[in-house]
Each structure stands twice: as C-alpha cells, then as structure tokens.
Amino acid sequence: MLRTRGPRLPPTDHGLLLGRLCRRLFPPALGLGRGEPGRPAGRPVSGGRGRGWLQPTGHDTGVQVYNSLTRRKDPLIVANAEAASWYSCGPTVYDHAHLGHACSYVRFDIIRRILTKVFGCNVVMVMGVTDVDDKIIKRANEMNISPTSLASFYEEDFKQDMAALKVLPPTVYLRVTENIPQIISFIEGIIANGHAYSTQKGNVYFDLKSRGDKYGKLVGVAPDPVGEPVDSDKRHPSDFALWKAAKPQEIFWTSPWGDGRPGWHIECSAMSSLMFGGQLDLHSGGIDLAFPHHENEIAQCEAFHRCKQWGNYFLHSGHLHIKGKEEKMSKSLKNYITIKDFLKKFSPDVFRLFCMRSNYRSAIDYSDSSMQDTQRLLLGVTSFVEDARAYMRGQLACASVREDQLWERLANTKVAVKAAFADDFDTPRAVDAIMSLIHHGNRQLKAVTKETAGPRSPAVFGATVSYIEQFLETVGISLANQQ
C-alpha cells in the first residue's frame, strides 16, 4: 500500500468496482488471474510495422480512419456499436495544462462527438491519470508538499481547463494510485507468461527479447540503450521498467518484489485491461506518445493477454507548434501558453474551429494572427445566421431568391460534410463545405429597398440556419456570445 516511510493506508476498491461494472460489456476484463491465450529515437527492429494486422469483426461505423498501426486508412469496425471501447492517455498532473495539450484533447473530443452524433456509435471512453511519477515527486519536493496533494490539485485544475474548453469528460477517469493492486497483478501475469523478470534490487523489467520480432508493431523501433547507467540491473539495455524499486524519501507501495511504484508504461496497460479486457477498439494520444509509450503498451498487453492483437486502432494527433518555429509547444522547452491565459484572449469556440481547420494528424502552427483569422471566420458565420434570421422575420428585404439553387446547395453540403467526416474525420473539408454554403447564402441576402424586394423564401434559409447550427452543435461550437 501507499507509504512514505509512515503508516499504511487502506487499499481502494474503486478500480475493482469499475472493473466489475464493465465486464458485462467488455469480457474478459482484468482480474487477479492470468491472461487467456488468445521515426522517433530508437533503433530499428525486425518486427514489421503493421505487419499481420487483423481487421476486426463487429459493427462497421462507416468511417475510414487512419490507423497508426498500418499507416493507412482502414474501415473503423468496433466490437459493439453500443459500447465502443476507447482508451485515452490522460495527463501527468504536476503542472498546469498548456495549449499543446488542449489541441490534442479538443481534436479527439471533436472526433468522439462526430463518431457518436453522426455515425451513431456510443463511446465508452476511459482516461488514465498519472498521479504518481518522477515529475510529480520532484515538483512536490520543490514545493514542500506531498505528491498526493500536488497531484490532486493539478488533476482538478486539468478537469477545469477541459470543461472550459468544452471537452466532454471521459466515461470514467482512472487514477494510477487507485489501481496499484491491479497493476501489480498485471505485472505478475506478464512475469508468469515469461515476458518480464524481477531483480535483486526490487525492480521488474519487461524482457524485450522475449517478444522476438513481435516488438515494433507501431513504429518499428526499439528503445535506444544509449545513456543506460553502468550499474543497471537490466538483463538487456533495451528492457524497460514495469516496477521501480523505491528510493529514499519517495512515495511507495508494497509489492511481491519489495517497496516501489509502477513504471509509466504499465499503468495504461493495466487500467485499460481492467475496463476492457484483452480487446480494445480505439487508443488515442499525441504523436509523441507513439514511441515508446504506446509501443510498450502493445507489448505489455499482448504479453499479458497472450493475444495476437490487443488494440485495433491507434489514433495520434499532431503537435501544436509556435508559428515560425519547428519545435512543439512543451513545458520542457518553456515555450508554452497555459489554457487559462489563452482563454483570456479567445473563446473556446474559436479554438475549436482553429483545431478543425487542419487535419487532426497534422502539426498545426499557433499564432495570434491565426487565432484572429479564425475568430473572424466564426464571426462571419454568426453574421450570416443573424442576417438569415432577420430575413426570415421580414426585417431584411432582399431581391428574388434563387430558392432551387439554395435547396440544392444545402442538400449537396449535407452529403459533402458526412463524406468528409467518414474520410478519417476530415474536418477541414467539412468546414470548407459549410463556408461555401454560407457564401452562396450570403449572395442571395443582398439587401434592397422594400419597393424592389422580390418574393420571400424564408423556409430555405430556415433550413440552412438549422443545419449550420446542427453542424456546430455536433462539434461543440456555439454561436452565442460571439463578438
């Protein structure tokens, strides 16, 4: 149990209760038994990236999604349309979230909304929260507070930021510290299956060589052993930690291998398996997580569950860059903007539209001018809706409207938007279709004097406004209070 050289704390049943709840939807979920059979920095490995990918059976969503496992667009097929399983890597809660984090979470929130509202797929999303970590311990020591207090504060801060950005909360959050028994059980299963080993120092490592050519499915590289300490107790330099022996004055839990805490990669594998068992429909995160984090998750889960394919689809979002620089926005580079500071200047709706103007997989350049341009675009949408409503109320006199053209344009736009969404959630193409519809609508709303006004056609403008608002509502954008 959790200790810092003090009294034991009782274990939590939170994870176990959630696991029981989800077993009915996602059999077999992680229990205390063994699993059932079933170009980043690094060095190349023989396991072919995406080699032998197995197309799932189940419900075809109608979406072609770019799958990082295969590096191509594959039909998105989920096991159960009523409960598509989605695991999202969540925050390591040691500081304020910044706009780079926001970009990834907003992009995947838009995808989740589209998958649910356009393609009728109910998503069960689990987000893991890393609330014990080297960075948390270091920051807590600097602030002279407990790691638990620090993590709790920044977890709540993160949730407030996500709510301010209108990111839907996951179906459930899972914290590492509330699932230590399940993580220990998961590690024991990997050891029992011959893919991990403990050391005299109390560490447990994943035995990378035991995977043979199966490692590297996602990116085709293995961890680079350069920089490995000379006193390392690993069998092979590329092996990675599943359990880390406690250091003096550090938070720790008791385990079969001695006091310590989980490695980073094992946390997500264990918590995802707790909820969804040995099969996962979707896994998402920033592109920087593909290696080594997601690659190691795949190795761990397939070793535990003894399956050929654990995660069916991996979705990765591109980085947010500061315009004019090739570097991503990150805390380590000290070039970040906090979400709170950003929202003092721009609305969450503007940021959402900004994210939609590029493909979720692509890097995106941030600058005040790009945000101002997006703000003007959203104001243009608002202006059209207001003018169309004024026309419908009889407060705006216009020349004769080519009603047949507008009805045709509206019908074509609906088809184009759904086709764009079905093509790897192509939001830029969908936005372009909406803006083209607005452009043609504006051309018909040319104000004239009442004496020269033509016959009124309010219905087509009503239908157009209704569809535009439905589109915006689908992706989480509101036109209210746009200034």
Q: Which amino acid is at 369?
A: S
Q: Is the pLDDT of residue 299 over 90?
A: yes
Of 400 and 459, more confident:
459
Here the tokens at position 300 are 């761990």
Bridge partners, 153 (sequence order): none
**pLDDT, mean of residues 346-352:** 98
Q: Is the pLDDT of residue 124 over 70?
A: yes
Residue 119 CB contacts under 8 Å (≥ 6 apart), including other chains: 61, 62, 63, 421, 422
CB atoms within 10 A of CB 332: 8
Q: What is the pLDDT of residue 172?
A: 98
**Which of 167, 480, 96, 89 lies closest to 351 in space, CA to CA?**
167
Q: Is the pLDDT of residue 224 over 90?
A: no
In which band, very low, low, confident or very high, does the pLDDT at 468 lie, cut at 50, 70 and 90? very high
In which band, very low, low, confident or very high, does the pLDDT at 322 lie, cut at 50, 70 and 90? confident
DSSP state of 294: I
In which band, very low, low, confident or very high, does the pLDDT at 223 lie, cut at 50, 70 and 90? confident
Q: Is the pLDDT of residue 186 over 50?
A: yes
Q: What is the pLDDT of residue 339?
A: 96
Question: What confidence tens digit (pLDDT) does each residue in 444-458 have?
Answer: 887 666 666 677 889
- Omega before 292 cis (within 30°)? yes
Q: What is the pLDDT of residue 448?
A: 62
CA 223 – CA 82 distance, rounded (Å): 38
Q: Is the pLDDT of residue 242 over 70?
A: yes
CB atoms within 10 A of CB 335: 15
Q: What is the pLDDT of residue 451?
A: 60
Q: What is the pLDDT of residue 220?
A: 84
Residue 326, helix vs strand vs coil: coil
Q: What is the pLDDT of residue 19?
A: 47
Whole-model pTM: value is 0.89
Q: What is the pLDDT of residue 51?
A: 63
**pLDDT, mean of residues 299-311:** 98
Q: Is the pLDDT of residue 293 over 70?
A: yes
Q: Is the pLDDT of residue 2 over 50?
A: no
Tell me the torsion sign for CA atoms 151, 152, 155, 160.
negative
Q: Is the pLDDT of residue 378 over 90?
A: yes
Q: What is the pLDDT of residue 453?
A: 61
Q: Is the pLDDT of residue 13 over 60?
A: no
Q: What is the pLDDT of residue 276?
A: 98
**pLDDT, mean of residues 156-163:** 98
Q: What is the pLDDT of residue 472?
A: 98
Q: What is the pLDDT of residue 258?
A: 98
In which band, very low, low, confident or very high, does the pLDDT at 35 lie, cut at 50, 70 and 90? very low
**pLDDT, mean of residues 202-223:** 92
Q: What is the CA radius of gyration of the chain?
A: 25
Q: What's the length of the chain?
A: 483
**pLDDT, mean of residues 461-466:** 97
Question: What confidence tens digit (pLDDT) does each residue in 69-118 have?
Answer: 999 999 999 999 999 999 999 999 999 999 999 999 999 999 999 999 99
Residue 387, φ and ψ in degrees, nearest 5: -65, -40
Q: Cβ-count burial of 336 within 10 angstroms (0-12 exposed, 13-18 middle, 19+ buried)? A: buried
Q: Is the pLDDT of residue 174 over 80?
A: yes
Q: What is the dihedral of CA 457, 463, 465, 468, to 10 degrees?
A: -150
**pLDDT, mean of residues 226-252:** 90
CA angle, residues 97, 101, 103, in degrees to nearest 5: 130
Of 50 and 182, more confident:
182
**Which of 290, 344, 282 lies closest to 313 in space, CA to CA?**
282
Q: What is the pLDDT of residue 85?
A: 98
